[in-house]
Structure 1
Amino acid sequence: MAKARVAPFKPVTIPGLELQAATISAKVSRVLETEMGYKDMSHHFWTDSKVVLGYIKNDMKRLKMFVANRVQRIREVSQPAQWKYVPTTDNPADHATRGLTADEIAKSNWLTGPKFLWETEASPQTADIDLEIPADDVEVKPTVVHIVQRMKFTSFTERMSRFSSYLKAVTAVAVIVECSILLPKGNHFSTLVASHYHDRIGHQGRGMTINEIRNHGYWIVGCRSTVSSLIQNCVTCKKLRGRRVSQKMANLPEDRTEPSPPFTHCGLDCFGPFMIKEGRKELKRYGLIFTCLASRAVHIEVLDDMSTDSFINALRCLIAIRGNVLMIRCDQGTNFVGASHEMKENLNKLYIDSIARKLLSQNCEFLFNTPSSSHMGGVWERQIRTIRSVLDGILIQNGTQLNTSALRTFLYETMAIINSRPLTVDDLEDSNEPLPLSPNNILTMKSGIVTPPPPGDFVEGRYICEKEVAQSPISG
């Protein structure tokens, strides 16, 4: 009886294929035992692979899953001593894999079997064959060596330093005699004892903790300082009785504290949009606020859009009205960043002589906030809220139907109202004190009181005074 198999498509090593053939041989022997009644007879198996014999007789090295499963099946049918070695030249099983012609089959031992089966000694000697599996065999699992290092401690207190709690230390030591064990100051075990009894009394104060420690027979040298340090670093005590932490404000920048003319150092931002109507078209307009960092005055301009050109025009209007600006603080809006780049490029073209260098040094400088850090612009962000509040009150009185001219007028009136606010309210209710200082006192050298607008209404973007209304034919 003979049986052969084709090698699988999945790559398998040559020793793995040889082992698969040995597995088939073991299965065939089981079939012969059942069908021919050879259960009481001894069986012998031959293979020309020394590696396979090494796998079957191996008891020390760990094999990979493919090899280990097949070795287990072979050992279920046979014993390792039943497997013996046959030279390749005497193995007729090779004829099935190599292929022979009819004449070669007639001359081979395919039909008769190997010669040693007909001799008195039925098997070649395998005692002198080396069946040791090589260390670099791919079917052998790598050996992992774990090195366990035992730590040596010179004293009991050093051993106790390895524990994080009193109960763990007690479990490891097993027995601790609670009869005045004198504990040194600053020792780790002393801290564990103090922490344990501090937890037992519900995280109470120093006196109750010391009393609980002494009641259980412990005496810690310098117990007061040990317990005080423990309570100071106790997270639970900080949650229960810790002081509330207040936000610490950083120092103001120099441009907020140094005296300077109005709008020499300012911050800016855009707000809106506002819907206006020009004829039958509805358009968007935006507001641009400049806040003086020294006087806290505001200046408002109207933007047609959020482009760089529109912002530069508004900045030119500010400079024409309020004077030169040396430094601007703002966020990293695309229109602000674009304006900064454009101004630098144009000024670099003038960087020729000392006069141009001096002009360049005095030019407006942009300082941008960190991205997504609106809190850094609180000086002007707060004024935007004030603008919206004042503008809402003006629009209630004059209607919400706006055009560009009406929006600009309302924003200027809003600017005048905001600049008339007092800069301090300390002496606001004291009749003996002078009037408080307002930004308008600095900008116009006039009183901060804003006169009301002339009588009349804004109707469809056109201002109509009371005299014109009285003379109209409809009013008569």
Structure 2
Amino acid sequence: MDLKFPDNDSEVKRKSVVNASIVDDDYDEFNSFETLISRCSDFDKLKRIVAWLLKAVNNFKQTYRRKNDLANENEDKLPTQAKSKRLNESKELVKTLNLKVQDVHNAEMTIIRFVQNQHFDDEVQRLKDKLNVKRTSRLFKLDSYIDEKGILRVGGRLARSNLTETSKHPIILPKQSTLSYSIIQGIHRSIGHLGKNAILTELRQKYWIIGANGIIKNIVSKCVICRKYQAPIMQQKMANLPSERVTQDTAPFTIVGMDYFGPFAIKQRRCTVKRYGVIFTCLKIRAVHLEVADSLDTSSCINAIRRFIARRGVPKIIRSDNGTNLVGAQRELKDEIVKC
């Protein structure tokens, strides 16, 4: 059942619609572009945004030009319906367009030109006027020049090298710009959070950022992943030495530690067999005695201990880990002591 209430009913919630228009008399195109660069920390994302903006402006111009051309044509030659059809086709063409690699590249060059004109205005103007930059300029030692696209690049003596043009003549960028920080941060992520030298090497393939070392050091120091990789190994504070290590007036091998190592392959007649080493170390003077065990069973362990006792005397304490053969030898030795 569909119930309808009158609009003037006090129990019915009314919808409020508010419209507002804001007029900014101080609108500045350059400040707006600078705000876009400062708010976008991902350089790849920034290039795509600017590429879409440039493509939209170009498409609007084409549509406007097409509309004017159709309006100026003689109505006898082209009916109104045909004009509308052609105009709608051009609009549909604009809707289906996608970004291309060249569009992103043009957007990158537009961003770089804007940043260079903003920070190197005097140098760019002097180079356009075929003059050298001032000696007090930050670009004086870089032998800078402007290429055919209006991009400020490093000069140098590598013109005859077989390197790429971007490697021979990197693009100059200032240290103070947010763009420089975004580019270095993107390179830092793309190369897998390597160190400062790796970042600087990758950066020099295309860009020459003045004071790049300071920016790289700042980014690496604040990177959580890099801080994990470069964190120093924690040092465990060692406990006090056991009493057996600091007992005085005892003969060597009175208190010993025992362990196995190996195996080692040896030749026995025509066969290759395994043998294990048994190490006895004095816990007081760190002297070492070595024996050879045929296997890892309990009887072989007891034989090694007997040979050690025959050479070094009977120890008071033997310390070892909980190896199966060592635990078995301990059990048999305790049983023999109880029998005695």
Work out whether the TM-score is over 0.5.
no
The structure showing larger relative contact order (alpha-carbon pairs under 8 Å, at least 6 residues apart) is 2
Q: Which has the larger radius of gyration?
A: 1
TM-score by length of 2: 0.31
TM-score by length of 1: 0.22
